[in-house]
């Protein structure tokens, strides 16, 4: 069962990817984790990626696909995997399909966790992070006992720059421009399924399980 998770930043696709991985006993794979592991282990692909990252450059699509395909060929992926955060663009999706076809594999499901932009802005702008221990809270969904103070260490809570409405809107703009076309790409491939990401986390997961099967 080879799955791609789609969804805007803050839609909750990472949370659902972890739940899918746990239920079906398949690895949850993010490109960030792949980069870190390869760089840490000093692999040839990792060293190539590092030369770009050290210069503040984007890692080229071909190299990212090589890293992903190298990862999904490992033993723990024999029963499938959940790709989270990749592909992000049509060229990446096409390159991934081509590379997988070369080893006799293909993506089975693309799941889009759909949340309207205004919900995401509201959701993200309610997040608060502790300046001391890094614990995260939410004004609405996971408030602290005392407003503005961390339950764990008693330090001040802040709204991170990443979670400010203007930053979130900018990230959503980039997402719609780059990643939204993937919705059409996987719809045309006949493997896209959309779930409502505005409902309770567990209900979102149940909707995904209904798609994937027990």
The string of pLDDT tens digits covering residues 13-54 is: 989 999 999 999 999 999 888 988 999 999 999 999 999 888
40 classed as catalytic: no
Catalytic residue among 2, 13, 19, 128: 13
> Is residue 67 within 8 Å of residue 49, measured between CB atoms?
yes
171 classed as catalytic: yes
Catalytic residue among 23, 36, 160, 170: 160
What pLDDT does 58 receive? 83
- Rounded CA-CA distance 171/149 in Å is 28
What pLDDT does 165 receive? 94
Catalytic residue among 2, 71, 123, 127: 127
Domain assignments of the chain as residue spans, ordered by start? 2-115+177-212
> Model's pTM, two decimal places?
0.85
Does the pLDDT of residue 214 top 80, yes or no? no
pLDDT digits (tens, 9 = 90+) for 153-197: 999 999 999 899 999 999 899 889 888 899 999 999 999 999 999
SS3 labels along the chain: CEEEEECCCCCCHHHHHHHHHHHHCCCEEEHHHHHHHHHHCCCHHHHHHHHHHHCCCCCCHHHHHHHHHHHHCCHHHCCCEEEECCCCCHHHHHHHHHHHHHCCCCCCEEEEEECCHHHHHHHHHCEEEECCCCCEEECCCECCCCCCECCCCCCEEECCHHHCHHHHHHHHHHHHHHCHHHHHHHHHCCCEEEEECCCCHHHHHHHHHHHHCC
Instruction: Identify the sign of the CA torsion 172, 176, 182, 186.
Output: positive
pLDDT digits (tens, 9 = 90+) for 42-93: 999 999 999 988 888 888 988 999 999 999 999 999 999 999 989 989 999 9
Does the pLDDT of residue 121 top 90, yes or no? yes
Peptide bond into 87 cis (omega under 30): yes
18 classed as catalytic: no
13 classed as catalytic: yes
Catalytic residue among 48, 50, 88, 169: 88
CATH number for the segment(s) 2-115+177-212: 3.40.50.300
């Amino acid at each position: 069962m080879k799955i791609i998770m789609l969804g805007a930043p803050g839609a909750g696709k990472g949370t659902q990817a972890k739940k899918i991985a746990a239920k079906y006993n398949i690895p949850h794979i993010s490109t960030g984790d792949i980069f870190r592991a390869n760089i840490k282990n000093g692999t040839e692909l990792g060293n190539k990626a590092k030369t770009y990252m050290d210069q503040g450059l984007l890692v080229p699509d071909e190299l990212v696909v090589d890293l992903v395909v190298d990862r999904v060929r490992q033993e723990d992926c024999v029963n499938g995997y959940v790709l989270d955060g990749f592909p992000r663009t049509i060229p990446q999706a096409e390159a991934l399909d081509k590379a997988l076809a070369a080893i006799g594999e293909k993506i089975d499901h693309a799941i889009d966790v759909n949340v309207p932009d205004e919900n995401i802005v509201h959701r993200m702008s309610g997040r608060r992070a502790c300046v001391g221990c890094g614990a995260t809270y939410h004004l609405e969904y996971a408030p602290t006992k005392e407003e503005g103070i961390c339950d764990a260490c008693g330090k001040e809570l802040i709204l991170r720059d990443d979670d400010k409405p203007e930053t979130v809107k900018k990230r959503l703009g980039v997402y719609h421009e780059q990643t939204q076309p993937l919705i059409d790409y996987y719809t045309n491939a006949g493997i896209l399924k959309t779930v409502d990401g505005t409902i309770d986390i567990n209900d979102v997961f149940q909707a995904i399980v209904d798609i994937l099967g027990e």
